[in-house]
Every structure is written in structure tokens, then in C-alpha cells.
Structure 1
Amino acid sequence: MRNLNHIYARRDDAGWAGFWIFAASMVVVVVGWVTATPLTLRHPRVVQRVGAALIGPVERLFEHVDAQPGQHTENDISEYF
């Protein structure tokens, strides 16, 4: 529970707030997936074009952002994954 509270509720306790926010977000994801699946199967090219129109500009902004080899030292690497 403590990790869900850190991630979802910005709290450092063992309460249930983070779990309920997580559960609600999973319900939204499942409802969106169930709703989108028939549309995706019937009109795959439309979904592809709409996705490209929504994501494409942001993707192009970050396409050339890349860490250069040797730019980071051993001290920059975190011990936490």
C-alpha cells in the first residue's frame, strides 16, 4: 500500500487512498480499451491517422534528443532502478 500511496496519492503512509486512485484509473483504462477495440478493428487506418496526428508533432520534437556517448559519468547513474 505504501508504494501506491507514493505513486498515486503523494502520501507517505500505509492507507488505502493510493489503492483507490489506482483502482479508479484502471477502470478508466479498461473502459477506454473496451470502447476503442471495435473502432480499431473496423477502421484501423483512421485510428492510425488520428494517432499520428495527435502524437506525431510531439514525437518529432523529441526525435533528435539523445544523450551523447560519454555525456554521463558513473556518478550520474542511480543505484535505484
Structure 2
Amino acid sequence: MRRVVIGLARAVSKSLGFEEHYVEKALELKSGFDEMAMNLYPPNAKSKGVVGLPEHTDPGFIITLVQDLGDQLEILTNGIY
């Protein structure tokens, strides 16, 4: 997993016009930082589609979220969902 994330970080750096190791160094990816997460939040069968997680932030360089339940995912941007 670490090699995949390092490779993605290098590709992102290059695609943004930075030196290949820019993102890797800036985020100190070799220090044990939570680099990548894959999340699936299925509906809660007892609550008619309500997901049982409170508001939270997913830390990391790349977050992959499997979300196929319509537009039920809310993202906070500038204080507005």
C-alpha cells in the first residue's frame, strides 16, 4: 500500500508541475502518516438508511469513499454542507 501511495504522490507532484518528491516530502509520507484510506459507509438497516457515523474528518493524503446511495454524502465547504 505504501508504494502505491508514494507513486500516487509522485504522480500528483509531477502533474502539478512540482519536483517529483514534492508532495511526498511536504506530507512527510515516510514518517508513518496515515496515507490512504478506503471507506464504505453502508446504510443502517435499523434506521431506514441513516448512517451511524457522526460528523468527522478523514485525515490522510488520499481518501477513497465508496458511495452509491444517491446524494446522501455531505461535504462541509466554507461552513456550508
Same fold (TM over 0.5): no
Task: Mark the structure with the bigger radius of gyration.
Answer: 1
Length-normalised TM-score, structure 2: 0.22
Higher strand residue share: 2
Which of 1 and 2 has higher RCO (CA within 8 Å, sep 6+)?
2
Length-normalised TM-score, structure 1: 0.22
Higher helix residue share: 1
